[in-house]
Each structure stands twice: as C-alpha cells, then as structure tokens.
Amino acid sequence: MIRRLLATILALGALIGPALAHPHVWVEVHSELDYTPDGKLAGVRHHWKFDEAFSTYALQGLETTPDGKPSDKTLKELAQVNIESLHEFDFFTYAKRNKQDVKFLQPRDYSLSYDGTQLTLHFTLPFAEPPVKAGALTLDVYDPTYFVSFQLADKDPVTLAGDAAGCALALHRPDPAVGTSSATLSESFFNALTSASEFGSQFANRVTVTCS
C-alpha cells in the first residue's frame, strides 16, 4: 500500500502541505522482540501506526460498515497489499549481529487495525536463523530514501517478550538537527535516491539488545 499510493499522495497538497519536503508519510513504531524458551530470538513483531492524513487517503473509496469504519474485508485486503509492497524494501527493518546481517523469513500474522482516525499495520518478521540470546544484536528501522519517516513511540517503543531474562535494551533515536538540515534539500535530490541508498540511515531508529 505505501509505495503504490505515494505517487498519488504527492499530488494531494491539502494532505501533506505545499512545500512537499521529505518525508511524506509518518509512522509511529512499537515493536516486540520475542525470545524462545531455548534462548533464541525468534523474530520481531511490528506495530506501525500511520499518520492520519495517509490513513484517510488509504481508505478513501473503500468498503465501509454502516458506521463509516473500514470493513473487515477492507482491512484484510489492505494488509495484504501492505505486505506485498513492503517486501521490495526489506520491510524497512535491518538486523545485524557482530556486524553481520541477520536475515528474515517472510512475514506472518499480518493485519491492519483502525482506531477511528489512524491505521496500524501489525506483522511478525521471523529470523531465518534465530540468533542465540548471548551477545548483542542491533535492529534498525528506517527508509533509505527518507520518503517514510519512522519514529519510535514515546512510551515503551520496544519491549522484550518470552524468555528474555538477562537481556537489556538500549534505544537510539535520530538527531532532530539532522532532520532540520535535510529540509533544505531539493525534491529532485530525494527522487534520485533508491532503496540501496544510505541517506536514510541517519534517520534510523536503532535498538541494541545485549544479553548475558
């Protein structure tokens, strides 16, 4: 849903303002890191809340219930489109252990919920080879092109679940000054970026998990 709708959203000045400065979509991040009883990190469970303007447009013209809310069918179909569209961009989620990339399997248990104003995408990314608990693992969430801005929720943005005894979290939020300086860059600069770009990494939300 995200990338398929972005081009159209750009034309909706009433939704995102006349300046058209990046980013264009804002996402609030809640995540859970799930440990298994044998001490391995099974996967990451994301809960991404989209901004109100994007949520409103994404639901425009789709099937609703008599009270005006999106139907279960609508939410199910949009969740499927989300997952299919995000696959190309590695779900904006990058993990490393000892500087080595840690790969994910296909997402599972995905769904969309709606609170009356905003959509939230829920999905789990299982690790292809679940890392053992001992040691440190870093998890970054960001869009390399900075089209989508990911921001850790103010309260309990990342939690540990399962057998996470002996593990501690450290959060790193992007420097607000970096975002301010990016406002001077032209739209053509951002249009030239690709998913292979590292520009967006300076806006990464990083979680480091260290377990004894």
Query: pLDDT per residue over 9-57, tens digit each?
Result: 333 333 334 444 567 789 999 999 999 988 889 999 999 999 998 899 8
pLDDT tens string 92-120: 999 998 888 999 999 999 999 999 999 99
Task: Report pLDDT for 199.
Answer: 60
pLDDT at position 44, please? Answer: 97
Q: How confident is the model at residue 198 (pLDDT cuts 50, 70, 90)?
A: low
Beta bridge mates, 159: 32
Measured CA to CA in angstroms, residue 125 lies from 41, 91, 95, 132, 166 at distances of: 11, 9, 11, 17, 23
pLDDT average, residue stretch 138-150: 88
Q: Please check the confidence at residue 138 and state whether its pLDDT lies above 70.
A: yes
Give pLDDT, residue 16.
Answer: 38
Please measure the distance between the N-terminal and C-terminal CA atoms of the chain and give it in whole angstroms. Answer: 40
Is 50 exceeded by the pLDDT of residue 58? Answer: yes
Given a contact cutoff of 8 angstroms between Cβ atoms, the answer to whether 198 and 143 are in contact is no
pLDDT band, very low/low/confident/very high, at 72 (cuts 50, 70, 90) = very high
